Amino acid sequence: MSHRSRGELGLLYKLYTRAANDGSIIKLLKENKAHVNIIGNMALLPSKLRSALKRVERQTRIYKELSINLLVGYGGRDDIAYAVRSLAASGVKSVDAKAIRSKLMTADIPDVDLIIRTSGEKRLGGLLPWQSDYSELYFARKNWPDFGKGDLKRAIDTFRKRQRRFGR
């Protein structure tokens, strides 16, 4: 699923674990009534990181104002394949878009308004192919660990200025 080196993954795992264990981040999430959804194959993650992420998700579960979807060990093609396997195993006779969506690992995620892609890449790389149909895209040159509050504000300000047409 990943094309990252072990060293790069190890660094990302440490950053995620540190962030998940940072009390100020939990406080910020609670102040903003933000719920964190962890989506992906958690079995691929080290146990310390898995535990820390599950704790963040559990501690923010009651908040509904804002949803932050953290995709870790996730692949869009794998998500769709998972849905198709689930439908086939259920013995369903007719498959439509609604049936497929209902079986996605990401079934509970609404369509995404804004996708922020860091690292200067100008591609989605399998990110939420089902929910990103009418997403606005923002590309940032900075790598994820260096992407800060000012960068997020710029992305949101850019998004707010766009006229959304949803395919019209």
pLDDT digits (tens, 9 = 90+) for 55-66: 999 999 999 888
Q: Are 78 and 1 in contact (CB under 8 A)?
A: yes
List the domain range (segments joined by +) for residue 166.
Answer: 110-168
- As a whole number of angstroms, the longest Cα–Cα distance in the chain is 50
pLDDT of residue 136: 94
Same domain, 1 and 62: yes
pLDDT at residue 104 in the model: 94
pLDDT given for residue 4 in this prediction: 67
- pLDDT at res. 3: 63
User: pTM for the whole thing?
Assistant: 0.70
- Alpha carbon 2 to its chain's center: 15
Same domain, 115 and 157: yes
In total, how many domains does the chain have?
3
Residues 124 and 150 in one domain: yes
Task: State which residues of the chain have pLDDT below 50.
Answer: 1
CA pair distance 109, 118, nearest whole angstrom: 21
Q: What is the pLDDT of residues 70-90, one digit of tens each?
A: 888 889 999 999 999 999 999
* CA separation for the pair 152, 21 (Å, rounded): 21
